[in-house]
Amino acid sequence: MSDGCGTYAHWPLHVWAPDADLVRALNELADVEATLVTSDGELPPDAGNVEVLVPGFSIERVRECIAANPKLRVIQTMSAGVDYLEGEVPETVRLCDARGVHDVTVAEWVLAGILAERRELPRFARQQAAGTWEGGGAAGELFGSRVLIVGHGSIGEAVEKRLAPFEVTVTRVARTAREGVHATSELPVLLAEADIVVVLVPLTSSTRGLVDKDFLAAMPDGALLVNAARGPVADTDALVSELQSGRLRAVLDVTDPEPLPAGHPLWSAPGLLLTPHIGGNTTGFPARMIRFISDQVERFRDGNALENVVSGDY
């Protein structure tokens, strides 16, 4: 059997994974032997024979796993982003992300965040906790808004699908232009026409700091920034400045730094709804993750083309 990175004929196919349910599912596959790997302690006894690694622990542990397995050929992440593995993957190993697995979870978080912000639900939650009843002025609404999706991949498509019932106008942006999708080079013009900007780009050398002072300044007064990508995609100081001025509002699931330390100005920034990087964490996610990775392992076992192979500055 050929894996595209060399030929091997030893069985079973050894896989290391950090999730017990995933390990059980993989062990139900023919000619596959999966072993649970935790974040610490000794490496499992099958070290040296592993062809597929599913990382889910510290980068130090990932390095240890890679070094212990010269036969390693595939690293399959459970995340859509693989920025944390930059510079860590040997040339003989193919890196695959979990694009598609997180579409439902992140898209629902984006929609929930937008609706919560527009209808001022955080304010009413604070009032409930304080035992006060204050209606206040009229809240905003999502209906008819102009939404700019920056990073229109599979998650962006899922977000757009869920926005459709609200009769919004969606403008799509990706790294390069294609039919119906604008290039990031057009952002200075597109941002000025957006009520809501949803950021879904992967963290790469070209997107780090993309949401900078100029990006934010181009957004209209009262616009909403939603970041479900990675914290370093945004310039935190520039964002804090805009929030403190009251000119923009934001919904963030990611920050830079992360976790956000005590006393950081984002904690008290006005107009901000903040969640601790939980956009992809739902009860339905594990089943989708297990199904995708099991299918991926079967593809590799059978010598078929892998999905979601990462190449270049993805």
pLDDT digits (tens, 9 = 90+) for 243-287: 999 999 999 999 999 999 999 999 999 999 999 999 999 999 999
Please, which pLDDT band fits residue 4 given cuts at 50, 70 and 90? very low
Element (H, E) at 240: helix 236-245
Specify whether the CB–CB gap between 153 and 200 falls below 8 A: yes
| Torsion, CA 46, CA 84, CA 75, CA 159, rounded to 10 | 130
pLDDT of 10 reads: 62
Q: Does the structure show a pLDDT above 80 at 212?
A: yes
- b/e string for 133-159 if b means 16 or more Cβ within 10 A? eeeeeeeeebeebbbbbbbbbbbbebb
pLDDT per residue over 179-198, tens digit each? 999 999 999 999 999 999 99
Can you list the domains of the chain with their CATH numbers? 13-101+284-301 (3.40.50.720), 103-274 (3.40.50.720)
CA dist., res. 200 & res. 159, Å (int): 10
Residues annotated as part of the active site: 230, 258, 277
Q: In terms of Cα–Cα distance, which of 79, 84, 83 is closest to 97?
A: 79
Question: Can you give the pTM of this predicted structure?
Answer: 0.91
Mean of per-residue pLDDT scores for the chain? 94
pLDDT per residue over 94-127, tens digit each? 999 999 999 999 999 999 999 999 999 999 999 9
pLDDT of 135 reads: 86
Distances (CA, A) of 65 to 60, 74, 112: 9, 12, 38
Instruction: Over range 150-171, report the average pLDDT.
Output: 97
Helix (H, G, I), strand (E, B) or coil at 309: strand
Specify whether the CB–CB gap between 299 and 94 falls below 8 A: no
CA dist., res. 70 & res. 156, Å (int): 37
Please, which pLDDT band fits residue 1 given cuts at 50, 70 and 90? very low
CA dist., res. 102 & res. 237, Å (int): 29
